[in-house]
Amino acid sequence: MESKITFNYNLDVKPNYSYIFEFENEFQHNKHRQWMTENWTVAFYYVGIYMAFIFGGQYYMQNRPRFELRRTLMVWNSALAAFSVMGACRTLPEFLHVLRNYGLYHSICVPSFIEVDRVAGFWTYMFVLSKLPELGDTVFIVLRKKPLIFLHWYHHITVLLYTWYSFTEYTSSARWFVVMNYCVHSVMYSYYALVSMGKYPPRSLAMLITVLQLTQMIVGCAINMWAANYIATAPPHSCHISNINLKLSTAMYFSYFVLFAQFFYKAYLSPKTNKKAKVEPTPEVSRVEKMQYDAYPRQRNGVVAH
């Protein structure tokens, strides 16, 4: 394995971006890494506030009418969709460029997407920071009194803590994780935006989103396996991934896969015996309300798709 790995790279050859924004060109990774190193543990305080809101909010809303928040939710989903599309468009070129010109080893073990490429570096940093406002997804669930399952808040918490910690180490395999997540979120939040506007795509699209998420978890586990092999066979410290980070990432992706697979089975494959009798609206329900009610199972994917 060692003999097949080349360590000399001409990192001056970068993706051919058609345009580079000034805020991207001014990105200084060292300054932001220092800030994140000094402040990443603050994420635990955000997690504490988040959990307090979940249980406190659910208790507060228990005997109160739910909020509609339709327009706010439409703006929220549309903004996250636009952000995800932009992030995917700005990080994918670097990812493909590295795979095409430098190979798999470089894509997993060399953090040039932060240290060399300012465009990908900026959007990687934005990706990390975005995990904090994405906690707002749960705010809508609680205030609208929608079912909040374990996978939703577990996923939010672990992703926030892991990404903030990983940026302090410039974890090189994050190149894969960032690009995959941006791409999946582009589809997912676009779907949610349509639903919040009253446009209901076919059920197959909701299923596709969950399949994409499962695929993301499988690829994430595979990348960690490759990384473990490189760490074991390549020269010491040549693969920029710490052992603790590798273990955390593997445990996280595997747990996601199990939980998403369980969700996929319950949502799309489990027998629907007597389910219709339990969820069928009464005859007095208006046509508009029935449409919203019937659409909910398709929206339910949004509860866990992050």
Question: Please, are residues 31 and 110 in contact by the beta-carbon 8 Å criterion?
Answer: no
Residue 233 pLDDT > 70: yes
43 domain-assigned: yes
Average pLDDT, rounded, for the chain = 87
What confidence score (pLDDT) does residue 289 get? 37
Residue 214 lies in a domain: yes
Specify the number of domains making up the chain.
1
Q: Assess if residue 246 is contained within a domain.
A: yes
pLDDT digits 0-9 by tens, 6-48: 444 555 557 878 899 999 999 999 999 999 999 999 999 999 9
Candidates 283, 267, 284; CA nearest to 275 is 267
* Distance of alpha carbon 94 from the chain centroid: 19
Tokens of 222: 């595979």
Instruction: Tell me whether residue 5 is in a domain.
Output: no
Q: Is residue 135, in this structure, part of any structural domain at all?
A: yes
Would 191 be classed as within a structural domain? yes
Per-residue pLDDT band for 208 (boundaries 50, 70, 90) equals: very high
Helix, strand, or coil (residue 38): helix
Q: Provide the sign of the torsion angle of the four alpha carbons 290, 292, 206, 46, taken in this order.
A: negative
Is residue 62 situated within a structural domain?
yes
Please tell me the predicted confidence (pLDDT) of residue 16: 79
pLDDT (mean) for 283-302? 38
Q: Which two structure tokens, joined as six digits, stand for 187?
A: 């589809």
User: What is the structure's pLDDT at 271?
Assistant: 82
Mean pLDDT of 188-208: 93
pLDDT digits (tens, 9 = 90+) for 243-284: 999 999 999 999 999 999 999 999 898 886 554 434 333 333
155 is catalytic: yes
Going 285 to 291 to 297 to 303, the CA torsion angle's sign is negative
Mean pLDDT of 63-88: 96
User: Quick one: tokens of 41?
Assistant: 């543990």
Q: What is the pLDDT of residue 15?
A: 83
Q: What is the pLDDT of residue 305?
A: 36
Q: Decide if 253 is inside a domain.
A: yes
Burial of 244 (0-12, 13-18, 19+ CB in 10 A): exposed
| Domain limits for position 235 | 21-304
Contact 259, 151 (CB under 8 A): yes
Amino acid at the residue 201: P
Q: CA 178, CA 124: separation in Å to the nearest integer?
A: 7
- The pLDDT, as a whole number, for residue 92 is 97
The two structure tokens encoding residue 129:
């920071």
Q: Which of 29, 97, 152, 155 is catalytic?
A: 155
C-alpha–C-alpha distance, residues 142 and 67, integer Å: 9
Which pLDDT score is estimated for 47? 97
- Helix then strand then coil, in percent of the chain rounded to 5, is 75, 0, 25
pLDDT at 112 over 70: yes
**Given this model, what pLDDT does residue 11 score?**
58
